[in-house]
Structure 1
C-alpha cells in the first residue's frame, strides 16, 4: 500500500513538472500584449451574447437529469447541476455529491433515485463526448480530412457505441449488471486490495433496478440534449474567436467547429482538459493558418474558457445562493429516504 502511494505521488509530481515546464516554454513564446489587445476588442453586447449562449447550454445540459429523476423539474435540475459543478471544483470529493443530495432532500426528491439519475446522465454524457469526433469529421469533410482524423473519429465512435450498448445491456439484464459489477471490482482491486466484490455487484444491481424504467424512454432524448449542449459550447468558442478578430478568411466555421468537436473527448481530463485541450486546438489551427494568428487564437480560447468555465462557476454560486434563500423562506422537511451509504471499500451502494 505504501509503495503504491509513493508511486502515485511520484507520477503526479513528474506529470505536474512536465506540464509546468511546457506551459512556461509556451508562455515565453506568446505575445501577451497582442493577446490582451485582442481580448479588449470584445464589446458589451458580445459579452451578453456569450452569456446567453452559456445559460442556454446549462439549461439543455440539465435536461437529462430532469428526465431521469422522478419529481425533479428542469429549473431545479439546472440549479442542482450548477451547484454541483461549483462545489466539485472548490472542494474535494465527494463535495458535489453532498450538495446534490442536500438539494434533493430539500425538494423531497428521493436522493437515491436522484443520484442514480445523475450517474446515468454521466454515462450518457461520456457517450456524447465520444460521439463528438464523428460530428467533427462530418464538418471537416468540407475542408479536407486527413488519416489521423479518420482514425480518431472511428476509434471514438466505436468506443461510444460500446459504452452505450453496454449501458443498455446492463440496465435490461440483471445478469449483465452482476457481470459488470464483478468485472469492475476486479479492475479496482488492482489498485486497492480491500475492494469488496459483492458490494460492487450489489451497487450495480441496485443502480439497474432504479434506472431500468427510465433509460428506455429517455436515453435518446438525453443523448440528443447532451449533444446539443456540446454544439452550443462549440458555438461559444466560435463566437469568441470571431469577436476577438478571427475572420472567416482566417478560419472557416467548419475548421473551428470541426476541430473543436474532434478533440472534445479531452474534456474528460481534470478541469475539462484545461490546458491540454486548448494547446491541441491552437496547434491544429496554427497548422492551417500560420503562427501570425497565434495570439488572436489564444485570446479567443481564453474568452471561451472564461465564459464556459468561469461563467459556469459564477452561475453555480448564484444557484447555491438562490437555493439557500428559498430554503430559508420555505423550509421543508427532508425526504424520508436516506442517501446512499458507503461500504468499507468506499463504494456507494
Structure 2
C-alpha cells in the first residue's frame, strides 16, 4: 500500500527501506517459527513424506480450481472501487502485482499496477486509490479473523482464553475501519485524519509533512468516495469469501494427506486458521509462522499422531496458495501484454514496453 505521500517508482530509498522491512519481518517470522515448532516437538519428516504419497492426480486439479477462486475473490475489491476494472482485469492486476512483489525490487508491483491501469484508460490516481482501498479492506478482514475464532470457541463451549495478541489484532481491524469511515465521510474529517496521522508519524520520521498527508487524504477521498458506499460492503464480503475458500483449501490439503475428520474436525481447523491468519501480515503470507501456529493448534486438537500428516498438508497448502499465484501472475502479465499489443496493433501505434 502506498503512503499518503504517494508512490514514487523512481526513488530508490523507499525500495531499500521496503527490502529491509521484508528481511526484518522474515527474520522475525523465522525465529517465531523455530520457537513454536520446538514447543510442538520434533517432526517425523519420514512420516510426513509418506503422508504426501496419499495425494492423487485429481487432488491437484481440485486444489488448482480452489486457488483460482481464491485469487479472484482476493482481487474483486479492485473492480468494486475502480470504474472500468472488470473482475478479469482486477484478477490479472492483482496476480501480476503479487508476482512482482515477490521477485522484483520495490515498488515494481505498484509500477506494474499503474501501467495496467493506464492501458485500460484508468487514471493512476483512481487506480492507486482503489488499490489502497483493496489493501485496507483486506486488513479489516485479516485482523478481524480472531473475533470469528473466539465466537466459534464460545459456540462449541470451549474457554476462549483471550490473549493479548488476538485482542490487539481485533483492535487494529477496528482502528482501520474507523479511520477509513472518517476519511470518506467529509473533506474536513479527511484532512483532520491526515494531519493528525502525519504529526504522529513525524515523531519518528522528521521528513513527513502533515499538510501533505492532509492533502493526500483529501485527494484519496475524492478519488474513492464515488464508489465507496456501494463498493465497500461488497469488498468486505469478497474478502470474507476469500478466507472461506482459503480455509477450504487448507482443509482439503489436510484431508488429502490423511488427516481425517475424526482426528481433527473442521471447526478446529477453522479455529486454528482464524487465530493464525493475522500473521499473514508477514512476507509470503506469513509462511513459516502461520504454518507453525496452525500446526501447534492441530496437534493440540488431534494429538501428536496427526503431526506428520498435518505438516504434509501444510506444505501442500503453501505450495498452492503461495507458489501457484506467482506462476499465475506470470501468465497474467503475459496475457496483459498480449492484450496491449493487440490494442496497439488495431490502432496502428507502437507496442509499449509495459
Indicate the SS of the match to 1:29. Answer: coil
Residue matched to 2:352: none
d(CA) in 2 for partners of 1:40 and 1:186? 57
Cα gap change, 1:280 to 1:179, in 2 (>3 Å): same
Residue matched to 2:351: none
Residue matched to 2:114: 101
**Is the contact made by 1:137 and 1:153 (CA closer than 8 Å) also made in structure 2?**
no
1:277 maps to 2:279: no
Cα gap change, 1:150 to 1:8, in 2 (>3 Å): closer
Please, what TM-score do these two structures have when normalized by structure 2?
0.84
d(CA) in 2 for partners of 1:333 and 1:175? 46
d(CA) in 1 for partners of 2:344 and 2:253? 42
Stretches of structure 2 lacking an aligned partner (at least 5 in a row): 1-16, 348-354
1:20 positional shift: 8.3
Residue matched to 1:147: 160
Cα gap change, 1:8 to 1:229, in 2 (>3 Å): closer
Please, what TM-score do these two structures have when normalized by structure 1?
0.85
Stretches of structure 1 lacking an aligned partner (at least 5 in a row): 335-349
Q: Quick check: 233-242 or 90-99, which moved more?
A: 90-99
**Is the contact made by 2:154 and 2:160 (CA closer than 8 Å) also made in structure 1?**
no
Residue matched to 2:218: 205
Q: Quick check: 263-272 or 21-30, which moved more?
A: 21-30
**Is the contact made by 1:237 and 1:304 (CA closer than 8 Å) also made in structure 2?**
yes
**Is the contact made by 1:149 and 1:262 (CA closer than 8 Å) also made in structure 2?**
no
d(CA) in 1 for partners of 2:126 and 2:23? 39
Cα gap change, 1:11 to 1:46, in 2 (>3 Å): closer
In the TM superposition, what are the counterparts of 1:124-203 in structure 2 within 5 Å?
Answer: 124-149=137-162, 156-203=169-216
d(CA) in 2 for partners of 1:192 and 1:22? 33
Q: Quick check: 144-153 or 266-275, which moved more?
A: 144-153
Q: Quick check: 122-131 or 229-238, which moved more?
A: 122-131
Residue matched to 2:260: 247
1:223 maps to 2:227: no
Indicate the SS of the match to 1:108. Answer: coil
1:216 positional shift: 1.1
Of 295, 299, 308, the residue aligned with 1:295 is 308
1:108 positional shift: 1.4
Indicate the SS of the match to 2:344. Answer: coil
Indicate the SS of the match to 1:330. Answer: helix
Q: Quick check: 207-216 or 140-149, which moved more?
A: 140-149
CA RMSD of aligned residues (A): 3.0
Residue matched to 2:13: none
1:38 maps to 2:63: no
1:273 positional shift: 1.2
Indicate the SS of the match to 1:145. Answer: coil
Indicate the SS of the match to 2:85. Answer: coil
Of 326, 332, 344, the residue aligned with 2:339 is 326
**Is the contact made by 1:66 and 1:77 (CA closer than 8 Å) also made in structure 2?**
yes
> How many residues are paired up?
329
d(CA) in 2 for partners of 1:11 and 1:298? 25
Of 215, 227, 234, the residue aligned with 2:247 is 234
d(CA) in 1 for partners of 2:113 and 2:346? 16
1:147 positional shift: 3.5
1:146 positional shift: 2.3
1:89 maps to 2:85: no
